[in-house]
Structure 1
């Protein structure tokens, strides 16, 4: 039997879109812009790092990062993110969303700057310092996932809640785009101010001393958007759902939301006591397993599988584009110009594929539903990956490279107009308030485990099968073609596990989490 909803929560569910909704989207969204910038900007400078710090005198090829170091630089932030998602997700349910929200932002600001100031007397020590700071940068980024999603879901009305949460996550697309554009500008400025010969003409002079400033500036710039919203985060009130349903303080919830909605509410402490005393089961209880065990399996498995493919594509698209000839060979460019070319390629993908995909989800998620978008996204990603892999030799021919890029871009579009957005939205809607941040953190951490598989595994997996064509230090892999086949299968599995995830369109958070139900009703 359903219980009566609290007046203040019902008002939030039916509230018309107001200014505070947009304020919350911007405040939470700027954190996600920072998250994406920080996580993906490293892919713009890894080749530059190899040319600066690992040049081998007399080598016919420019310097490249050793495989273990390349994997560490790309993956260590994800390890930190995974840890941060679990820790801050748990802390957000214990101490409150607001109390730890500013801490994650401060950590991101500090570690972005520190990463750009990485120091050492040898190339290895510089990379070790960079990895250390990127771990803690990832730790702060990890906290932003469960806290931003939970805060936005608990502020939103049920009619447009999906769009609001997706809009926060869609700022990730602008973060990827901002990283590419900023890298283009910085590389263009330095390339014009300090012109250098290509590697084939003069290997040493092709990496001017000023190239070391380029990657540092690009990495440090991630602190700017985070710092811009620090004050606004500190001023946000705690969500009414946490205050009422977790802290059990109906009066404070009514007062806080009364100021936001400009309306007076009664405390209804009796209702709060009735709800919280009869729904006290925890995460490890049989009752949670019975009510939400399958849901948690669905959110963790789909996010894990999605991120294997998504982060493999994002972090190593420069290698794929080099393999198909869209980015010229490194020997034909100086170090800074190569950074420019990589940034330009990734920016074009972001403009025409990544960003539109995110916002297609924002506009349609509350119309066609989370389940349909996620199922469709995984389906199209599977189809396009198989199309690229099966006809790989055809697409990589000089006359068909543009076709390869178009199909590859479509996989990004349907990742973002699909599971990359919905896996973020759904865990913030279907679990009880007292476990919402924790369960979102667990789901997100499963995703980052997939990202780690992508970051550490795909680097080796996609290497040429022919040892003579493999970059120095890299063992032979299965080749890009077969790696794309593996990713297609991963997406197909994501399609199947989507059937474990419930549809939350148009329903209140309490209906989805069953907090409005008596204990003996499933």
Structure 2
């Protein structure tokens, strides 16, 4: 807020409206310095220097070489600023950067970290169960083959139920409730997994399977809730986005998502340590039933403690998680679930649904197939091995390689020269190549003298899966849709993705290792085609602009929107073919945005007058959602004919005109 004692010196009265040509006199204020003309005020607000150059050209409208220089300049400035902030924190307190990372990356992704720990432990535990309970898990003498197969099927089915159910709840009741519900379900599920038992071995398996299904519901809900809440926390709920929003939104969400990789890593480390503890310091077979039971039960009990803390954190420390959703509902006059927006999405953004759901499906055939296939992979490179330790150690290496992919994705996902769409296309393409090469040369690469090449290709496929579709599908399924139905659309896309995991789980039970290599690569190629044709690129796009475009679409005035959300760079080939980008006009949009800001300011002032019951002071003229210089401009350029009724009434009062605390009126 401005200091009441500092007068604002304005030029002549300006009933003319915004001076976008730069012909009107300068304006001076102690709050924000001098602007040569009114156009500079709005350029600073509507054309930020991280997206527009000195000439006011949007980065996507620049030529390739000019864009390259602009992006490098912005990145250099931002890197210097971030390093300076890091160094200042480090000098003040050497541990403060770790605290910053924990608050901004670890906590938002804690649910996915716990999910990754438990979800992927199932594949790690299966070979241990086969060694400790061979008559049940291996020979299928004491247990039903149907229930053993259901371990993989029902887990995925539970995830699908959670993704759809919690996605709808997150848009209906709110993000915070969805987050609390997920954590609670996962905590109860972990208690069930830890205590799973049965009178017979088959009864134990049945109890184990249904515990996984229940836990899977909470896991499924984590996908839409973490993505939407993380993104909306990054973007904020005000009308104007920040530099940090525009430059690092993708990094914030991906940094939370990569906690899934750390969950896998810690699960594998703890399983190795627990087996060594309960198997008397040895990792070699045979394993006693007691050692197996203690190993797997304690491995589930440990994350239960962390999940209980997560319930507490979300209940008491995330009370504003639904703020942006509530703002969007208020603007659209919606109190419950926004069914109208859902209908518009289905009719209007069908291509985007095909892109986010279809590419997620193709990715999960690779991602979950990779986890399900790792046992077969280990058999190829370590034949005649009877211990689970070599497989676990190789998986630990694989997870480490995947983590490198996660982190590189977080560093480059916001880069305007590479970004989301290129990252996903390259990732799918590399997965296709790294699987199709050994598919048609399987015997060659599985020979002892060439096995290291086979290993390298397998590990690299994990790297490019994370540095590509696995990271991008997670963020794109939230970014390309409006706030009102973001969780629903993300949940639906993720659920279709899990059908890909189910496809891999079913398919791998009926084909041999060689055939798996023949079949799987083509899902990667299909992912490339879907990405190139149907996926829009939201890299560098201010999501406030996407919400603005959505307001036009919802009002049935799509052709009246002329902003950057329909720039060809931010649309898919399919949308460009349909002519969605034709109304794009940066000059017309610039004038339109100024007029929209004026109207919003006048509405806000009317509400404040009504709320204050006529008491008008300097603070009443300042809108907390707009920078001071824009607010001052609207104060100055709102003439008597434009003023809201209550302000006109107050202007007529002589005692108000003589008040020393009231702003100068003209």
Q: State how far apart, in whole Å, the 1-side matches of 2:383 and 2:275 are.
A: 16
Determine which of 428, 448, 462 is the counterpart of 2:478.
428
Write the deviation string for residues 142-189 of structure 1: whole angstroms up to 9, x where unpaired. 111101100111111132111111111111110111111111111122
Q: 1:430 to 1:316 in 2, by over 3 A?
A: same
Q: 1:183 to 1:244 in 2, by over 3 A?
A: same
TM-score, normalising length from structure 2? 0.63
CA contact (8 A) 1:25 1:152 kept: no
- Show the 5 A alignment for 1:161-176: 161-176=249-264
**Structure 2 segments unaligned to the other structure (5+ residues):** 1-41, 52-77, 86-98, 235-244, 560-666
Q: Does 1:44 align with 2:124?
A: yes
The alpha-carbon deviation at position 438 of structure 1 amounts to 0.4
RMSD: 3.1
SS at structure 2 position matched to 1:503: coil
The alpha-carbon deviation at position 506 of structure 1 amounts to 1.6
Q: State how far apart, in whole Å, the 2-side matches of 1:494 and 1:170 are.
A: 21
Q: Does 1:488 align with 2:525?
A: no
Q: State how far apart, in whole Å, the 1-side matches of 2:321 and 2:176 are.
A: 5
Alignment match, 2:446: 396
Alignment match, 1:100: 178
Alignment match, 2:381: 325
Q: Does 1:82 align with 2:82?
A: no
Q: 1:26 to 1:239 in 2, by over 3 A?
A: farther
Q: State how far apart, in whole Å, the 1-side matches of 2:545 and 2:231 are.
A: 13
151-160 vs 218-227, greater mean Cα deviation: 218-227
Alignment match, 2:279: 191
The alpha-carbon deviation at position 294 of structure 1 amounts to 0.6
CA contact (8 A) 2:368 2:504 kept: yes
CA contact (8 A) 1:27 1:233 kept: no
CA contact (8 A) 1:316 1:459 kept: no
CA contact (8 A) 2:358 2:496 kept: yes
Write the deviation string for residues 192-231 of structure 1: whole angstroms up to 9, x where unpaired. 35x69855xxxxxx53532222222223333233233332
Alignment match, 2:208: 130
Alignment match, 2:550: 515
Q: Does 1:220 align with 2:270?
A: no
Alignment match, 1:245: 328
Alignment match, 1:119: 197
SS at structure 2 position matched to 1:222: helix
CA contact (8 A) 1:81 1:140 kept: yes
SS at structure 1 position matched to 2:520: helix
Write the deviation string for residues 437-481 of structure 1: whole angstroms up to 9, x where unpaired. 1000000101111111112321332xxxxxxxxxxxxxxxxx212
Alignment match, 1:265: none
Q: State how far apart, in whole Å, the 1-side matches of 2:191 and 2:351 are.
A: 41
CA contact (8 A) 1:196 1:208 kept: no
CA contact (8 A) 1:374 1:422 kept: yes
CA contact (8 A) 2:144 2:202 kept: no
Determine which of 76, 98, 103 is the counterpart of 1:23.
103
Q: State how far apart, in whole Å, the 1-side matches of 2:143 and 2:129 are.
A: 7
Q: State how far apart, in whole Å, the 1-side matches of 2:159 and 2:502 are.
A: 10
* Higher Rg: 2
Alignment match, 2:414: 366
The alpha-carbon deviation at position 327 of structure 1 amounts to 6.2
Q: 1:196 to 1:309 in 2, by over 3 A?
A: closer
Q: State how far apart, in whole Å, the 1-side matches of 2:383 and 2:194 are.
A: 26
CA contact (8 A) 2:362 2:500 kept: yes
Q: State how far apart, in whole Å, the 2-side matches of 1:196 and 1:165 are.
A: 38
Q: State how far apart, in whole Å, the 1-side matches of 2:312 and 2:296 are.
A: 29
The alpha-carbon deviation at position 401 of structure 1 amounts to 1.8
Q: State how far apart, in whole Å, the 1-side matches of 2:474 and 2:419 are.
A: 14
Q: State how far apart, in whole Å, the 2-side matches of 1:171 and 1:21 are.
A: 12
Q: State how far apart, in whole Å, the 1-side matches of 2:111 and 2:539 are.
A: 25
CA contact (8 A) 2:359 2:527 kept: yes
Determine which of 389, 392, 411 is the counterpart of 1:343.
392
CA contact (8 A) 1:166 1:421 kept: yes
CA contact (8 A) 1:50 1:63 kept: no
Alignment match, 1:470: none
- Show the 5 A alignment for 1:280-299: 282=340, 285=343, 287-299=344-356
The alpha-carbon deviation at position 288 of structure 1 amounts to 2.4
**Structure 1 segments unaligned to the other structure (5+ residues):** 200-205, 249-271, 331-337, 462-478
Higher relative contact order (CA 8 A, sep 6+): 1
Q: State how far apart, in whole Å, the 2-side matches of 1:196 and 1:148 are.
A: 37
TM-score, normalising length from structure 1? 0.80
CA contact (8 A) 2:115 2:260 kept: yes
The alignment covers a number of residue pairs equal to 451
432-441 vs 339-348, greater mean Cα deviation: 339-348
Alignment match, 1:440: 490
Q: State how far apart, in whole Å, the 2-side matches of 1:196 and 1:412 are.
A: 26
The alpha-carbon deviation at position 129 of structure 1 amounts to 0.1
The alpha-carbon deviation at position 376 of structure 1 amounts to 0.4
CA contact (8 A) 1:158 1:506 kept: yes
429-438 vs 288-297, greater mean Cα deviation: 288-297
368-377 vs 231-240, greater mean Cα deviation: 231-240
Alignment match, 1:207: 288
CA contact (8 A) 1:74 1:315 kept: no
Q: State how far apart, in whole Å, the 1-side matches of 2:376 and 2:140 are.
A: 15
